[in-house]
Structure 1
Amino acid sequence: MAQPGCDSMCGDVEIPYPFGMNDPKCYAEEGFQIECRGKHNHKPYLKLINLEVTAIDVNTSTVEVKNPIFHRKCHPGGIDYSPSHPNVTIQGSANISLRGSPFVYSNKRNTFLAFGCNILGFLHSNRTTVAGCVSVCGRNESRRLRKLVTMGKKVRLGCHGKFCCVASLPSHLSEFNVTMEDIRNGSIAPGCNDYALITKQWKQESTWMLNEKGSQRKKNVNDYAIAVLEFEILDLTKIEATNAECRESNVTSSNMGKNSGWRCKCRVGFHGNPYIAGGCVVIRDRWYHPKGTPTKELMVGLLSSLGSIILLVGLRWLYETERKRIAKKSRESFFKKNGGLLLQKVVSSSEGSFDKFKLFSLKDLEKATNHFNPNRILGNGGQGTVYKGMLVDGKIVAVKKFKVDGKIEQFINEFVILSQIDHRNVVKLLGCCLETEIPLLVYEFIPNGTLFEYLHEQDEYLPMTWEMRLKIAIEVAGALFYLHSAASKPIYHRDIKSTNILLDEKYNAKVADFGTSKMIAIEDTHLTTLVKGTFGYLDPEYFHTSQFTDKSDVYSFGVVLVELLTGQKPVSFVAPGEAQNLASYFILCMEENRVFDIIDKRIMWEGRREHINAVAKLAKRCLDLKGIERPSMKEVTMELYGIWEMQRNSSA
């Protein structure tokens, strides 16, 4: 509410008393005078301190204003710190002052922030340092950040002391300026993209645009931040509020023994503007007496509402009890249907491959995965979704949830095969849950993602070296050799690709995803089946004959080997025609004796040409269109190990 006959709006902002515009009778004191500026898009400004107002709340005695951001500017004469807000006039040094006004910066609702690399941000008031913080970043991080900034990209930062730091404000802050220093030697920090500000309720997910040069910032970059000012009435004779209480305060004075003004609020049972006559009105005449005390009708209404709430809570309890009973019955039914009683007996009596196998309850896995929260998803595949989970004992696991419209045969197939495998380069099955329609599988958690991610989205801090690529190739080849030859029955994986090769904490390879794998009799040489696989890795001979052999896995491994050599994806629709299929293009380059044109430049720097060429020749043999001409996984493993030994000897 404004005073009668006074304007109550400027643009989109309400102007309640004690604030006002134009006529002195419209505002309580000079400090509360508002100027409505602009011809078309009107904006309110506190005239005394020249800050734009965005909101006024008389109930909390606060004002939100556009507070300038201090950018460090570089020029031939040196470095200065100045606010970028176009409507702030600074006398002498870069200093914001509220002195002489009824306002101070709220220390409860604001924070001090400093952005930059390896800087100390200081907040000064009355020639004294009143707050400060440290923002650090490594040399490579600083270079990477500067590169993103130069490209004009937004950088999403938290404020944890890295690139950005935060500090609390002191009480009774009525003036301030900022400085920044290099943490290495106390000198002015190098570069021109550091800045500091006071702002309200900093959110760590906020996005800030950092710029290479403060003096050449883009037009759409924030020139201000929203800050909160607290106010008090200095002259209580200007206030004629009714049904309100005004108490002494010391908002603008740091002398706790001396009151500097007053703050008002409506009495209990009333709401509105406590600074104006008639501003506090009864919340509802029906529920409150004129003195603000509840009526009989209100008490009856409250009791009736309480009875309804008790009834609803009782119904909710009955519903939850019945829902849990049905869910428990359903889990027990699925457990029996999926052979849980028999498997439970086998696990408890087995001394072989099931000795460390565990039957998990659905409740345990729901708790581990936060009820299969989408934020816990590690990956999605054709058969289902894999979630990250943490068991009660703190162990991290991966839980595979098969698609509801899938077949239980997929679960049985993967379960039977993995229960027969014990190899350090094959992902380990820890247990399963049979209390769902399609059972769940629980594996060891492999923390460093897939080979595809690591190879094609390389981290500059931990690049994919030639030695690491050769080591991964040997480990995957060894696992496939074990599946083909050393397992109790030969196992064909049928979907070897870089996304099905996981990397553990030491970047050892782990072959995963056995949903389409097949276990065959020792005397069989192939299996005839519907063609399944991934485009780019699929054996052409298998595609034409529908006969899958151990050499089909060799072809898929050959594609992975070429991925490791070239750093390119198996299929690329943006590449020119013949280069879209990596395997075909690699064979063409080998035949034209220009294979080193597509080898990853990094391994050309690190490896010997004869060793790289030996691996390339092996990959070419694996990709032979005739399966009978391809080497076995045993031969592949031995040749790769021989190249590894030659490299070690040459390095020595």
Structure 2
Amino acid sequence: MGDYHGMEDFKLHLIESITDNFADDRIVGSGGYGDVYKAEHKGKEIAVKKLHPFQGLDDKQFHNEVRNLIKIRHKNAVQLIGYCYESRNKYIEHNKELVFARTTERVICFEYMEGGSLDKHITDEPCGLGWSTCYDIIKGTCDGLNHLHSVQAKPIYHLDLKPGNILLDKSMMPKIGDLGLSKLVASTETHKTEMLKGTNGYMPPEYIDGGHISKKFDVFSLGVIILRMMAGNKGFFRCSKTPPKQFIDLVSENWKERLQAVSRDSSYEMDTLRVRKCVEIALKCVDTDRKKRPTIQDIVREVEELEADIEKMMSAPSPESKDLTVQRSCDTNVLSVDPTLQLRFVLEARKETSCCLQLINKTNGFIAFNIKINQDKYRVQPSQGTMQPCSWRYVILTLQMQEPGPLNMRCHDMLLVESVSVTQDLASKDGEIDYQELFKTAMANQVVDVVKLPIVYVALDQ
């Protein structure tokens, strides 16, 4: 096969030398298609995968596949650095007797991943890694899979995407590995195979039931991976028995508590938004109807749009900004709200849309707030809470997908922000406060301040 852009054509004797003749103590991983050995070559650690003998393997097919895999160059795909394909005659044991036979050794060498594989971090509970690491792993895996599905003219379907095949480098960057089952296809059409191979729990129903392979195969596997990261194995098995919105709320709330515990400011609210989006995407990925699943390109685009929206929210003027719009409630309300006149949602067909509300406490006291809105149409994060003196906080509001859309973009909805002064002692017990009872009592005593914002829908091109 020769050399291809630095790809090495290893000799078998060299491979045997750097692996101590494939010694058991050098094995760092095993699977149904081969064992992986840790070795050193030219001063660098590498992973050497020795493939088990394949019955009926077409050598031409093997060589063509390796040639195509050599062309993969992406930061989220494990880099192939060399290969060995060598036949020789040797004595082997057959039916308890030594026979002289011709054997073929197939070896593939990859970059060594110090962080191991993702499956070490998947347990019955949600992933124990920090949220930023989890989110980077999810995004990186999506980017890597998107590259495989769009590489050159022929997409590459992995067909065995699972936590054990998502490898992590020393900085925990994810890289998709083990393309042993991958299939190169000339188009995005659905194919059918009579021989089922893969990993239980990560194969889509259409493949199990009918052997159908399409670009939605890997998307299903990706969804399972994300759900197991976000909810743990126990939570994953509950998701099929729980209504989607309830499941999303449950997982998001669990992560919110973890994020609040380590965050000293309101930045956790943006991360909670990311958590929610990841779970929403994952549930769409595991839909039993493959036609309803998104493509990997759709998923990458959704994540990019989310990050763009968050960047806009984060770049909104802070209370300290000299250019901050003067609040209409500045002198009369306990809590100031931005925007001041109306809350605008930009509508897109068959999509949820979000906007940001900024709460500003300009007083020297502690404030509790409570946001009221039609919960059948909108989600609010957070809907209640307390604020320290001279502080600000973002609230994310999401308009759920409306189908059909409102006639002539008309909307008669209203958002109410209730606020009341509280003691420092009560504010310190934020997680224990019964806000419903707090505001019920405050309302009866006529000490609740209310800011009303009309909600307006606008078209995308306005």
State the 1:523 CA deviation: 6.3
Q: 2:207 aligns with which of 542, 545, 548?
A: 542
Does 1:389 find its partner at 2:54? Answer: no
2:83–2:108 contact (8 Å) kept in structure 1: yes
1:634 maps to which residue?
297
2:241 maps to which residue?
588
2:94 maps to which residue?
none
Q: SS of the counterpart of 1:488? A: coil
2:287 maps to which residue?
624
Does 1:404 find its partner at 2:71? Answer: no
Does 1:613 find its partner at 2:276? Answer: yes
Pairing of 1:349-360 with structure 2 (within 5 A): 354-360=4-10
Q: Distance in 2 between matches of 1:388 and 1:408?
A: 26
Percent of counterpart pairs with the same letter? 29
1:643 maps to which residue?
306
Does 1:551 find its partner at 2:224? Answer: no
| Structure with higher RCO (Cα < 8 A, 6+ apart) | 2
Give CA-to-partner distance per residue, 1:555-614, whole Å, 9 cap, x none.
111001112211x23xxxxx6xxx7xx3x5224334361444456945642243433222
Pairing of 1:345-494 with structure 2 (within 5 A): 347=3, 354-391=4-41, 393-404=42-53, 406=55, 408-409=57-58, 412=63, 415-436=66-87, 437-456=104-123, 464-494=129-159
2:219–2:295 contact (8 Å) kept in structure 1: yes
AA aligned to 2:215 is: D
Give CA-to-partner distance per residue, 1:55-109, whole Å, 9 cap, x none.
xxxxxxxxxxxxxxxxxxxxxxxxxxxxxxxxxxxxxxxxxxxxxxxxxxxxxxx
Q: Distance in 1 between matches of 2:252 and 2:49?
A: 36
1:433–1:440 contact (8 Å) kept in structure 2: yes
Change over 3 Å in CA distance of 1:558–1:594 after alignment to 2: closer
2:27–2:35 contact (8 Å) kept in structure 1: yes
Q: Distance in 1 between matches of 2:141 and 2:12?
A: 33
State the 1:465 CA deviation: 1.3
Q: SS of the counterpart of 2:129? A: coil
Q: Distance in 2 between matches of 1:369 and 1:650?
A: 53
AA aligned to 1:451 is: L
TM-score, normalising length from structure 1?
Answer: 0.41
Q: Distance in 1 between matches of 2:311 and 2:114?
A: 28
State the 1:648 CA deviation: 5.6
Pairing of 1:80-91 with structure 2 (within 5 A): none
Change over 3 Å in CA distance of 1:523–1:403 after alignment to 2: closer
Pairing of 1:36-435 with structure 2 (within 5 A): 343-344=1-2, 347=3, 354-391=4-41, 393-404=42-53, 406=55, 408-409=57-58, 412=63, 415-435=66-86
Q: SS of the counterpart of 1:496? A: coil
Q: Distance in 2 between matches of 1:599 and 1:551?
A: 26
1:407–1:438 contact (8 Å) kept in structure 2: no
Q: Distance in 2 between matches of 1:404 and 1:439?
A: 8
State the 1:644 CA deviation: 3.8
Q: Distance in 2 between matches of 1:456 and 1:402?
A: 29
State the 1:428 CA deviation: 1.0
Pairing of 1:558-577 with structure 2 (within 5 A): 558-566=223-231, 568-569=232-233
AA aligned to 1:472 is: I
State the 1:406 CA deviation: 5.0
State the 1:627 CA deviation: 0.6
State the 1:549 CA deviation: 0.6
1:492–1:517 contact (8 Å) kept in structure 2: yes
State the 1:619 CA deviation: 1.1
Give CA-to-partner distance per residue, 1:285-323, whole Å, 9 cap, x none.
xxxxxxxxxxxxxxxxxxxxxxxxxxxxxxxxxxxxxxx
Per mean C-alpha deviation after superposition, the further-off stretch among 362-371 and 615-624 is: 362-371
Q: Which has the larger radius of gyration?
A: 1
State the superposition RMSD in angstroms. Answer: 2.7
Q: SS of the counterpart of 1:434? A: strand
2:239–2:247 contact (8 Å) kept in structure 1: no
State the 1:401 CA deviation: 0.5
Change over 3 Å in CA distance of 1:382–1:603 after alignment to 2: farther
Q: SS of the counterpart of 2:242? A: helix
1:495 maps to which residue?
160
Q: Distance in 1 between matches of 2:254 and 2:77?
A: 30
Q: Distance in 2 between matches of 1:523 and 1:564?
A: 29
AA aligned to 1:605 is: R
Q: Distance in 2 between matches of 1:434 and 1:451?
A: 30
Give CA-to-partner distance per residue, 1:601-648, whole Å, 9 cap, x none.
456422434332222111111111111111110011111233344456
State the 1:385 CA deviation: 0.2
1:537–1:556 contact (8 Å) kept in structure 2: yes
1:490–1:521 contact (8 Å) kept in structure 2: yes
1:408–1:438 contact (8 Å) kept in structure 2: no
State the 1:532 CA deviation: 1.9
2:114–2:169 contact (8 Å) kept in structure 1: yes
